[in-house]
Every structure is written in structure tokens, then in C-alpha cells.
Amino acid sequence: MSIKILKSPDRWNVIDENDPTSLPQVDFGHFLVTLQYYDGTGIRTVDKSFYTKDRELAKKHHGAYSRKHQGKQSVHFEKSESCFRVLAWMEIPKPFEEAL
């Protein structure tokens, strides 16, 4: 796995459909993602998703993926499934470590 500096680890990174550099700059990993139903309706939600840079591998795991509905970049995220579009991503924060 190649490790590179990510865009901004402590804030949301908006995905630009025309700019592949708006995606995480790693081969694979888990990230928090903001999801919304592909047609823009419904509430936005946050979830954890596996990401892979390998577009062909990602497409194999998305049987119902539709570039027309979900955009060009959502395929890289497992949580896009068949009807959600990934709008933004961020690194998963470190766990709470203070004593209770």
C-alpha cells in the first residue's frame, strides 16, 4: 500500500466529479463519508466506508452501480451501493482516550 498525504484529515473533502485528486490519495482504506440518495432527495447521512483506488476492482463489487445516477467517483466507495452517491469524505478521527 502506498501512503501519501491526504487532503485534509480533520474536515470534509468534497468530491469533484471532474477531478480524481479530490479522492483520497491512498490505494485503499476506511473513511467517513457523507451519502445522499443519487437523485439528491432525502437526508444526507454519515457512514464509514471502505475505499479502493482501483476502479476495476471497485466495479466488480458494485453489481448495481450506475455511473449515470451515482457519478464517476462514487464507485470507489463501498457504501455507494446501488442508490447512494458519496458527496464528501474525511479520515476517521482517533478514538476518545480520556478517562471517564
Summarize pLDDT for 49-76 with one digit per residue, the tens: 888 888 777 766 665 666 655 666 777 7
Question: How many structural domains is the chain composed of?
Answer: 1
pLDDT tens profile 6-28: 566 679 999 998 898 999 999 88
Three cell numbers at 62?
A: 458494485
Q: What is the pLDDT of residue 5?
A: 45
Q: Is residue 74 part of a domain?
A: yes
Range of the domain at 39: 13-90
Residue with cell string 462514487: 74
Three cell numbers at 26?
A: 491512498
Among residues 44, 30, 22, 7, which one has the least CA distance to residue 77? 30
**pLDDT surpassing 50 at residue 3:** no
Q: Is residue 1 part of a domain?
A: no
Q: Is residue 4 part of a domain?
A: no
- Ranges of beta strands (E only) in 28-92 are 28-37, 45-52, 84-90
Q: Is residue 97 part of a domain?
A: no
Angstrom distances, CA of residue 87 to CA of 7, 8, 76: 15, 15, 12
Q: Is residue 61 part of a domain?
A: yes
